[in-house]
């Protein structure tokens, strides 16, 4: 069920951790183990598709709610477009089809029947005249709708978003980070001018950055992708690159300035202010369940997940500490009162009144990363106090306070924890970006076991040896950070 | 753009309606026209799949939010399961496969390539060993997860729900009512005993009934489906049958007691309190975007949609009436203040400050069914008043009041309208249920142009002539209403 494993630390001391292996021992295995320990997701019998379990899905719902509000505040409207895309649509944009044709699920039949051996097979008589792909992304099908909806400059800007599932047939999958089916939002906006589209792509990236920093407590580096890393069909692709605790990069979201590429291939034309027909300029921007993988690899520790308070499915766990039946009723009653009171005050509370053992309840709360754990025993119940522990600081943060005091300070405890989590992750990121000058510097940095990103002069992109170096060391170009105005490039290993 | 069409009424008077044809002239065409006029959805280039436009999707989001809160209040947790279902899974339950194999989208390949003529085709080298179907419903894939998650009676009840898209390959489709792809929630619960499962299926039906009556202002008749109308694989199917304005029935949602059928085919077993292994008892229950079709056919009139205030995307439209440039700025400013004030008070407000003509704004608000339309001209702006009209009562309800008075009464205006809408729909339903005794009564009722449902003694189900009668008159058995405790059966035409 649970309990910490006894571990040998580097210094030879016994250290207890709830997750085996630890981050330091085997980061990829730790990642799988923490998802299991926190009960967030699991692999399904459908190769490459995951099951998002209730605790993981509650997290996604909180991310959705936060981002959806921010998207709507920008004047974007939600809508819903078909799951299936005709092959003729996906073929419309040349780079786009190259990018997605190699890994997509193809629907070819619309009926099953019993085959010769009695097993079900696709009915030969029900083969589709034109097959469909399950959307890997929806530029073409939404572009087609836009071609009908946009007639005049008065119809612009047209700002649309959908929350949906998409599918890309991945051969090597990993929970949340890379799955054949994943959940995301994809925004698709259309504008009158190239400048409007460019500004929109930048603006939506800033919206994502606000979500990452202020809600997920994940600092990211905003920048532009180099040509070889652009979205298929985009003129410019903007990205947020986040550094995971193993020093690798996660592309946390992207926002694309599509110029007139999709407007031309989908025929999105409008009568302009000059009375002439013009092609629109479009953008697209997406953030997916991959963000949860990033959240785990940014904040998890060797005892389990640590949830940023703003999106934690439970902000507080309340655990009754019951030693004998005599005092039990009072302790349970007190826990219930406090849970109800906190819920009325707007907090997300988990009162763990299950029949699990007390240590299992405590470790359950730790592994799931609930920000604040409250323990109430008979003594606390009698004295009108409670004991609480901040998940990220552990037992050193343990405090016993009057219940009224806890009610008065909980919000600020959560706010402080949220800020501390961001600050720690930011420090880790900043500490692990190393400035380099030459290809040789990069090689010696990573061959010497260097961790994190390197930041090089952007002129290095054009050097002949870069491709070979990247191949040798499994490096990729992450982005040209906005902060350095194109003068530098970030390079690193990545997910 | 808009404007009412001049119509000849039955009495020879000219009547203006915004929707052509009217309900009386051609109900199916009126249905298509109102969806277009209210800008809610449209057909897509993917046969059978619809595009839900922003105004229609905002309505769905409001329905989702209301129902999701109710589902969670019952202790059900949201999760997410794979879109694709292996053929071996769908085959597990014999009736289930018979019910869904004939109309499903089959995925057979995972890559495209250029064919002999350069067009994309499914790559022959990328044929899947085992094809998948796109979920028509998820009993089998969720049942498979339950078989892993349920080990002991302590793991029960297990209460799960997902909001997702599903696909059933329909040959004759109609926006919202019957589309190949649709959106829904599907709940899947597992229990220790047959009684628990039965009670759950009944309880979730009551949850739906609460949504329909209290939120959508749609009265429905709760009852049990007869054996021939059951969900494939269910022991008992419960339904809410709603009467549309043409007298036809819409199955508004269903809740199934699956007994041990899926537990046996999916191997959901647990160690019981007696230490022995037992199969669980499961339920499933779903409500889809079809509910929007029902909403339209319950409440729409010949001028457009009428939205129940509780889920209206906009509860109030504010229209500035500007005659000359001189007064315009003040009127616009006043409208903006009032809009902002109403939004702060928690109302959903659409301030129509577009450059459309004033009559087009008014008709736009009418066709979209916004519950309350507010008009503010120069005189109102100067006097601190506004004029408002309730959509369902039309111009007879027009009132000019002080702005402060409007703020004080708007909520009760909306509440009254919500209650009136339910009462009107309930009266229509009750007025159009005709009690009959024999098959001959039913035949003469419908052959004589009778509208609505007939309620017959339930013994009629076993009569030899019923099947032929139903076929002749396109009738179906709707349900055995709970209210009559199995003594009667409702029969009618249906969607």
Inspect the interface and report whether the beta carbons of B101 and A111 lie closer than 8 Å.
yes
Give B153→chain A minimum CA distance, Å.
Answer: 13
Inspect the interface and report whether the beta carbons of A112 and B90 lie closer than 8 Å.
yes
Give B87→chain A minimum CA distance, Å.
Answer: 7
Strand pairing class (B50-52; B41-43): antiparallel
- Greatest C-alpha distance within chain B: 85
Task: Choose the mutation target among B41, B48, B51 for the interface with A, i.e. most A CBs under 10 Å.
Answer: B51
Per-residue 3-state assignment (H helix, E strand, C coil) for chain A: CCCCEEEECCCCCEEEECCCCCCCCCHHHHHHHHHHHCCCEEECCCCCCEEECHHHHHHHHHHHHHHHHHHHHCCCEECECCCEEEHHHHCCCHHHHHHHCCCCCEEEECCEEECCCCCEEECHHHEEEEEEEECCCCHHHHHHHHHHHCCEHHHCCEEEEEEEEEECCCCCCECCCECCEEEEEEEEEEECCHHHHHHHHHHHHHHHHHHHHHHCCCCCEEEECCHHHCCCCCCEEEEEEEECCCCCEEEEEEEEECCCHHHHHHCCEEECCCCCEEECEEEEEEEECHHHHHHHHHHCECCECCCCCCCCCCCEEEEECCCCHHHHHHHHHHHHHHHHHHHHCCCCEEECCCCCCHHHHHHHHHHHCCCEEEEECHHHHHHCEEEEEECCCHHHHCEEEEHHHHHHHHHHHHHHHHHHHHHHHHHHHHHCEEECCCHHHHHHHHHCCCCCEEEEEHHHHHCCCHHHHHHHHCCEEEEEEHHHCCCEEEEECEC
Size of interface A-B (CB pairs under 8 A): 184
In chain B, what residues touch A102 (CB-CB under 8 Å)?
111-112
In chain A, what residues touch B145 (CB-CB under 8 Å)?
44, 51
Q: Would you say how long chain A is, in residues?
A: 495
Dihedral angle, C-alpha B42, B45, B50, B51, nearest 10 °: -60
- Report residue B416 as tokens: 């009254």
In chain A, what residues touch B111 (CB-CB under 8 Å)?
101-104, 106, 169
Inspect the interface and report whether the beta carbons of B164 and A165 lie closer than 8 Å.
yes
Instruction: For chain B, 495 residues long, give each residue's pLDDT as a single digit of tens.
Output: 344 554 444 555 657 899 999 999 999 999 999 999 999 999 999 989 999 999 999 999 999 999 999 999 999 999 999 999 999 998 887 787 888 899 999 999 999 999 999 889 999 999 999 999 999 999 999 999 999 999 999 999 999 999 999 999 988 899 999 999 999 999 999 999 999 999 999 999 999 999 999 999 999 999 999 999 999 999 999 999 999 999 999 999 999 999 999 999 999 999 999 999 999 999 999 999 999 999 999 999 999 999 999 999 999 999 999 887 778 999 999 999 999 999 999 999 999 999 899 999 999 999 999 999 999 999 999 999 999 999 999 999 999 999 999 999 999 999 999 999 999 999 999 999 999 999 999 999 999 999 999 999 999 999 999 999 999 999 999 999 999 999 999 999 999
Give A106→chain B minimum CA distance, Å.
Answer: 5
Q: Would you say how long chain B is, in residues?
A: 495
Give B108→chain A minimum CA distance, Å.
Answer: 6
Spell out the domains of chain B, with CATH numbers in brackets.
5-43 (no CATH), 50-112+121-299 (3.30.930.10), 316-413 (3.40.50.800), 433-492 (3.30.110)
* Residue B265 half-sphere exposure toward CB, CA atoms < 13 A: 22
Q: Residue B137 burial (CB < 10 Å; 0-12/13-18/19+)? A: buried
Task: Choose the mutation target among B1, B39, B45, B161 for the interface with A, i.e. most A CBs under 10 Å.
Answer: B45
- Report residue B109 as tokens: 């390949």
Strand pairing class (A316-320; A281-288): unpaired
Q: Quick one: pLDDT band at residue A118, thresholds 50, 70, 90?
A: confident
In chain B, what residues touch A89 (CB-CB under 8 Å)?
45
Position A3 scores a pLDDT of 45
Q: Which candidate, B190, B168, B184, B282, places its Cα nearest to that of B236?
A: B282
In chain A, what residues touch B93 (CB-CB under 8 Å)?
none
Inspect the interface and report whether the beta carbons of A107 and B104 lie closer than 8 Å.
no
Task: Choose the mutation target among A40, A47, A101, A106 for the interface with B, i.e. most B CBs under 10 Å.
Answer: A106
CA distance A461 to A459: 5
Q: Which residue of chain B comes nearest to A160, CA vs CA?
A: B54
Position B24 scores a pLDDT of 96
A119-158 burial by CB neighbour count: b if 16+ within 10 A, else e? Answer: ebbbbeebebeebbbbbbbbbbbbbbbbbebbeebeebbb
Q: Residue B460 burial (CB < 10 Å; 0-12/13-18/19+)? A: buried
Inspect the interface and report whether the beta carbons of B141 and A46 lie closer than 8 Å.
yes
In chain A, what residues touch B152 (CB-CB under 8 Å)?
none
Position A5 scores a pLDDT of 52
Give A90→chain B minimum CA distance, Å.
Answer: 9
The SS3 assignment for B198 reads helix
In chain B, what residues touch A146 (CB-CB under 8 Å)?
none
Q: How far is CA B269 from CA A483, A494, B276, in A?
A: 58, 42, 10
Residue A13 has pLDDT above 70, yes or no: no
Inspect the interface and report whether the beta carbons of B83 and A133 lie closer than 8 Å.
no
Inspect the interface and report whether the beta carbons of B169 and A141 lie closer than 8 Å.
no
- Report residue B493 as tokens: 């035409």
Inspect the interface and report whether the beta carbons of B181 and A83 lie closer than 8 Å.
yes
- The conformation of residue B4, written as its DSSP 8-state character, comes to P
> Which of B46, B133, B160 is nearest residue A112 as measured by Cβ atoms?
B133
CA distance B105 to B167: 7
Q: Which residue of chain B comes nearest to A161, CA vs CA?
A: B54
Position B14 scores a pLDDT of 59
The DSSP result for B211-241, as a single string, is: IIIIIS----EEEE--GGGS-TT-SEEEEEE
- The conformation of residue B396, written as its DSSP 8-state character, comes to G
Q: Which candidate, B494, B72, B425, places its Cα nearest to that of B250?
A: B494
Give A143→chain B minimum CA distance, Å.
Answer: 12
Phi, psi of B399 (to 5 degrees): -140, 140
**Tell me: the pLDDT tens digits for A57-74?**
999 999 999 999 999 999
Inspect the interface and report whether the beta carbons of A181 and B141 lie closer than 8 Å.
no
Residue A1 has pLDDT above 50, yes or no: no
Helix (H) or strand (E) holding B11: none
- List, in sequence order, every residue forming a beta bridge with B113; answer none if it has no partner: B121
Q: Which residue of chain A comes nearest to B170, CA vs CA?
A: A110
Residue A197 has pLDDT above 50, yes or no: yes
- The conformation of residue B405, written as its DSSP 8-state character, comes to H
Phi, psi of A63 (to 5 degrees): -65, -45
- Report residue B239 as tokens: 């339904």
> Within 10 Å of residue B28's Cβ, how many Cβ atoms?
11
Strand pairing class (A158-167; A181-191): antiparallel
User: Is this prediction's ipTM beyond 0.90?
Assistant: yes
**Tell me: the pLDDT tens digits for A200-216?**
999 999 999 999 999 99
Give A81→chain B minimum CA distance, Å.
Answer: 5
Q: Which residue of chain A comes nearest to B80, CA vs CA?
A: A52
* Residue B13 half-sphere exposure toward CB, CA atoms < 13 A: 4
Residue A112: alpha-carbon gap to chain centroid: 37
In chain B, what residues touch A133 (CB-CB under 8 Å)?
112
The DSSP result for B119-163, as a single string, is: -EEE-GGGEEEEEEEE-S--HHHHHHHHHHH--BGGG-SEEEEEE
Q: Which residue has the higher pLDDT, A481 or A100?
A: A481
Give B295→chain A minimum CA distance, Å.
Answer: 19
CA distance B125 to B110: 9
Inspect the interface and report whether the beta carbons of B110 and A108 lie closer than 8 Å.
no
Region A295-315: what's the mean pLDDT? 98
Position B477 scores a pLDDT of 97
In chain A, what residues touch B102 (CB-CB under 8 Å)?
111-112
CA distance B64 to B410: 24
- The conformation of residue B392, written as its DSSP 8-state character, comes to T
Position A143 scores a pLDDT of 97
Q: Which residue of chain B comes nearest to A127, CA vs CA?
A: B106
Inspect the interface and report whether the beta carbons of B83 and A145 lie closer than 8 Å.
no
Position A324 scores a pLDDT of 75
Strand pairing class (B488-492; B158-167): unpaired
- Report residue A379 as tokens: 């003594």
Give B377→chain A minimum CA distance, Å.
Answer: 25
Position B99 scores a pLDDT of 85
Q: Which candidate, B432, B461, B464, places its Cα nearest to that of B224?
A: B461
Inspect the interface and report whether the beta carbons of A78 and B54 lie closer than 8 Å.
yes
Strand pairing class (A399-402; A433-435): unpaired
Inspect the interface and report whether the beta carbons of B101 and A82 lie closer than 8 Å.
no
Inspect the interface and report whether the beta carbons of A82 and B108 lie closer than 8 Å.
no
In chain B, what residues touch A49 (CB-CB under 8 Å)?
82-84
Q: Quick one: pLDDT band at residue A2, thresholds 50, 70, 90?
A: very low
User: Which residue intervals of B375-485 are DSSP H helices?
Assistant: 378-383, 403-431, 439-447, 466-473
The SS3 assignment for B274 reads coil
Give B225→chain A minimum CA distance, Å.
Answer: 27
Q: Residue A45 burial (CB < 10 Å; 0-12/13-18/19+)? A: middle
Q: Which candidate, A302, A294, A338, A300, places its Cα nearest to that of A318?
A: A338
> Hunting for tokens 């709940």 — which residue is that?
B187
Phi, psi of B132 (to 5 degrees): -125, 155
Q: Could you tell me if B386 and B338 are in contact, meaning their C-beta atoms sit under 8 angstroms apart? A: yes
Q: Which candidate, B261, B256, B382, B363, places its Cα nearest to that of B319?
A: B363
Q: Which residue of chain A comes nearest to B48, CA vs CA?
A: A82
Give A53→chain B minimum CA distance, Å.
Answer: 5
Position A12 scores a pLDDT of 57
Q: Which candidate, B142, B147, B49, B137, places its Cα nearest to that of B99?
A: B137
Q: Write the CB contacts of B355 (distance below 8 Å, at least 6 apart in sequence).
A: A154
């Amino acid at each position: 069920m649970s309990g910490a494993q006894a571990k040998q630390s580097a210094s030879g001391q016994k250290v207890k951790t709830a997750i085996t292996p630890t981050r330091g021992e085997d980061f990829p295995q730790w990642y799988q183990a923490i998802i299991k320990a926190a009960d967030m997701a699991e692999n399904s019998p459908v190769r490459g598709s995951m099951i998002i379990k209730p605790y993981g899905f509650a997290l996604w719902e909180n991310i959705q709610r936060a981002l959806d509000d921010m998207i709507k505040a920008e004047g974007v409207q939600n809508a819903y477009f078909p799951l299936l895309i005709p092959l003729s649509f996906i073929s419309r944009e040349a780079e786009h089809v190259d990018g997605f044709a190699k890994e997509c699920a193809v629907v070819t039949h619309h009926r099953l029947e019993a085959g010769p051996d009695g097993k079900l097979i696709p009915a030969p008589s029900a083969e589709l005249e034109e097959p469909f792909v399950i959307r890997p992304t929806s530029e073409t099908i939404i572009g087609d709708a836009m071609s009908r909806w946009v007639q005049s400059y008065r119809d612009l800007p047209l700002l649309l978003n959908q929350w949906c599932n998409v599918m890309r047939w991945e051969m090597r999958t990993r929970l949340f980070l890379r799955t054949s089916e994943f959940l995301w939002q994809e925004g698709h906006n259309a504008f009158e001018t190239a400048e409007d589209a460019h500004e929109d792509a930048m603006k939506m990236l800033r919206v994502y950055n606000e979500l990452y920093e202020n809600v997920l407590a994940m600092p990211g580096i905003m920048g532009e992708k180099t040509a070889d890393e652009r979205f298929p069909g985009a003129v410019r692709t903007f990205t947020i690159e986040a550094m995971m605790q193993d020093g690798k990069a996660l592309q946390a979201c992207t926002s694309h300035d599509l110029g007139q590429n999709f407007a031309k291939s989908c025929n999105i034309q409008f009568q302009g202010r000059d009375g002439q027909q013009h092609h629109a300029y479009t953008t697209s921007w997406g953030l997916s369940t991959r963000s949860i993988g990033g959240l785990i690899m940014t904040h998890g520790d060797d005892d389990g997940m640590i949830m940023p308070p703003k999106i934690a499915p439970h902000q507080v766990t309340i655990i009754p500490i019951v030693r004998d039946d005599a005092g039990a009723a009072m302790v349970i009653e007190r826990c219930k009162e406090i849970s109800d009171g906190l819920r009325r005050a707007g907090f997300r509370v988990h009162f763990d009144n299950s029949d699990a053992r007390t240590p299992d309840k405590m470790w359950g709360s730790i592994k799931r990363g609930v920000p604040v754990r409250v323990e109430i025993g008979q003594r606390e119940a009698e004295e009108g106090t409670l004991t609480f522990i901040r998940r990220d600081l552990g037992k050193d943060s343990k405090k016993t306070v009057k219940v009224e005091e806890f009610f008065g300070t909980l919000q600020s405890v959560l706010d402080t924890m949220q800020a501390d989590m961001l600050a720690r992750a930011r420090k880790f990121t900043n500490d692990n970006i190393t400035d380099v000058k030459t290809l040789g510097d990069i090689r010696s940095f990573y061959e010497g076991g260097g961790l994190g990103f390197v930041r090089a002069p952007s002129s290095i992109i054009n050097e002949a040896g870069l491709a070979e170096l990247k191949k040798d060391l499994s490096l990729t170009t992450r982005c040209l950070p906005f902060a350095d105005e194109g003068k530098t490039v970030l390079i690193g290993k990545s997910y």
